[in-house]
Structure 1
């Protein structure tokens, strides 16, 4: 009898726990309604109207202060800073006078490997398109405006620093052109070199007797000489002879870069005139001026890439 009574009692407890009564539900609804608005105390969400008014006034003043404080800081920065001229420039800064080289074609920014099959359109097309995507910005219709001047007759530095010299694509010669697919179909590829922009940086000439031996034979005043060479003796042999367009490199007249409207960096094409097929060779290209340093680890003043033509 005791066991039956015990089982009956536990069953009643289970039913009470699992099935809430209507009274409990009604009490919860009443508690929520009273919290939202209590007619006895006149409170809304547990706060009196007087307290609610104080909170509204406090947060209104607080956020107005934040808005005006932010606007004041922005106004100070706008008056002090020149948006066309960077201020964080130091001797150890990338902006402090350490120009580097970049090259195209480089369809994959994570790779320096140029690999294609001679005469094979699908394998050469990415390289041709990547060069052309930059060249199109140098077309005549994209270099028009009052700020752009013709500098064909200038062979030294220029005085009009706020103006920019138009870079004429004729300087890149007649071999490395779109009509010939920049030499890739014929297995004599052209690689486009560009000196990275450094604000207010100007190249310096070598003093008499200080011209490095590597460029002694083809150094010209008022030009940043460009050279490319194989990293190993086998690379030099396999890459064959080279041609540069323009032959004197980057002319001084295109510097300095001051964030001028319409500015175009000067370009240089290096063409591999008779490279070996089926053999990988590694190339390092350098820009030469008195104030350009060469660092192979950080790729300052030079650039490295590899070429394999099947």
Structure 2
């Protein structure tokens, strides 16, 4: 019996479960355990090691990010894009935009719709046009203005050609009491080209197709509306033919009939001397105001406006070189 209780005997040990604690006691011990000196489950030494580790880790991460950002900024010029024209994602085909746009709540809509017998129904359209034209009424960076621009002279380096808001004729703020023809059912719509850095238009200034040597350009010329070809031919000063021509027409025969006559101001296009865009502070893109003089009321009219130049590609499916909107007056 004694041998069995000697050195070779195995002593059995049993695990004693921890005492059951209430929810509050468990939380209190988690916050501070006086027996082990732990706060939130860790000792002071453990918290110190973690703090030092994360300080070093985030300092290294921030330094790495700052270094990459510094290298990145060294490759950029704040005054001009790194990739231009054909090398850029924008490309060489400027888009055409219109104002006033419908409310943002009507996402994706291109419908200009109002009731001419309700002044409150037209407030949004007036305010939208006012906001758009106010940038031209009060130009910024006046020291960068070159007031000598004309068809024979573009802006000097570092300057821009100002757009004269009063040249919009019946659609200028001073001649419409800032109502822009909406109450008279003769609404004004404003067109502008998207800005592409260093893009120079190659304009149609020939009075006859035979004067165009390139077959692709001749094909484009044939597609131009006859009234634009007549406008080119009737412009006596050859320099004043240097326009990116604009046409606005109904999309279907019914739309053409319902649209009625269209008046363009200040000209039938954008003067070429406003280009190229060079990111000069204060630059104002030129505007063409299109006034629909007798659109048929109560009818939805689909309108397409196109910009015409030798280096503007027109594709209706992708809305290249054109813009579509609808007009409805009740």
Residues 50/130 of structure 1: CA separation in 2 closer, same or farther (3 Å cut): closer
Partner of 1:166: 162
CA distance in 2, matches of 1:191, 1:35: 68
Alignment of 1:134-213 (within 5 A): 134-139=132-137, 141-151=138-148, 153-156=149-152, 158=154, 160-177=156-173, 178-179=176-177, 181-206=179-204, 208-209=211-212, 210=218, 211-212=221-222, 213=224
Query: Take 1:296 and 1:252, find their aligned partners in 2: how far apart are those partners?
Result: 24
Given the two structures, how large is their TM-score scaled by the length of structure 2? 0.75
Q: Which of 128, 131, 144 matches 2:129?
A: 131
1:252 alignment partner in structure 2: 272
Residues 95-134 of structure 1: pairs in structure 2 closer than 5 A: 95-109=90-104, 110-134=108-132
How far did 1:88 drift? 5.1
Q: How many residues align?
A: 285
Deviation at 1:166, TM superposition (A): 0.9
Q: 1:29 to 1:306 in 2, by over 3 A?
A: closer
Q: Is the 8 A contact 2:84 2:198 kept in 1?
A: no
Q: Secondary structure at the match of 2:241?
A: coil
Distance 2:127 2:38 in 1: 71
Deviations 1:146-166 (A, max 9, x none): 112214x51145252431111
Q: TM-score, normalised by structure 1?
A: 0.79
Equivalent residue number for residue 56 of structure 2: 61
CA deviation string 1:237-281 (max 9, x = no partner): 221111100124111122222322111111011111222223332
User: C-alpha deviations, 1:161-190, integer Å up to 9, x for none?
Assistant: 431111111221145543162111111111
Q: How far does the alpha carbon of each residue in 1:41-82 deviate from its partner, in whole angstroms, 9 at most, with x for none? A: 777666666555544433322222112111111211222212
C-alpha contact (below 8 Å) 2:259/2:292 kept by paired residues: yes
Gaps of 5+ in 1: 1-22
Distance 2:302 2:287 in 1: 21
**CA distance change for structure 1 residues 288 and 157 in 2, over 3 Å: closer, same or farther?**
farther
In structure 1, distance between residues paired with 2:274 and 2:284:
8
- CA separation in 1, counterparts of 2:325 and 2:26? 77
